[in-house]
Amino acid sequence: MKFQPDTLAGTNAITRFEGHRLWVGSVPHEASVLVPWRGPVRAWPPAAAAELAAAHFEAILALQPELVVYGSGPRLVFPPPALARVLFERRIGLETMDTAAACRTYNVLASEGRSVVAALMLAPA
């Protein structure tokens, strides 16, 4: 017996992922994005883990999450701790995984009503 809905009204859900493209609801995205549990999806400048800078994590702070799920692309690549420090200092959790796993994890957390942001990098087309 199921006790909770697959999605909550007003909550963003990642409905499809193809490696170089993902859909939030019915809207496709072909570049790195920040997907907050509520509100508009935002472009996220880094196209690869090697391009990450502290400012990219600072942009997440404006969304006020309790947890960030970072999808590093087709392979697991951890961000340097010095760059993620801005999140750690504010006691915001950071989980790193490949983007496919990050999409699935984000959906579970968002469906539970958690204040989660997915920071997702997509593979080049």
CA atoms within a 13 Å half-sphere pointing along the CA-CB vector of 97 = 12
Predicted confidence (pLDDT) at residue 118 exceeds the cutoff of 60: yes
- Average pLDDT score over residue span 28-37: 97
6: in domain: no
46: in domain: yes
Strands 22-24 and 27-29: antiparallel
Task: Provide the residue type at 47 as one letter.
Answer: A
A 10 A CB-CB count for 88 gives 12
Predicted confidence (pLDDT) at residue 6 exceeds the cutoff of 90: no
Predicted confidence (pLDDT) at residue 7 exceeds the cutoff of 70: no
Can you give the residue range of the structural domain that contains 22?
14-120
- Eight-class DSSP state of 89: H
Q: What CATH code is carried by the domain that includes residue 57?
A: 3.40.1230.10
To the nearest whole number, what is the mean pLDDT of the chain?
A: 91
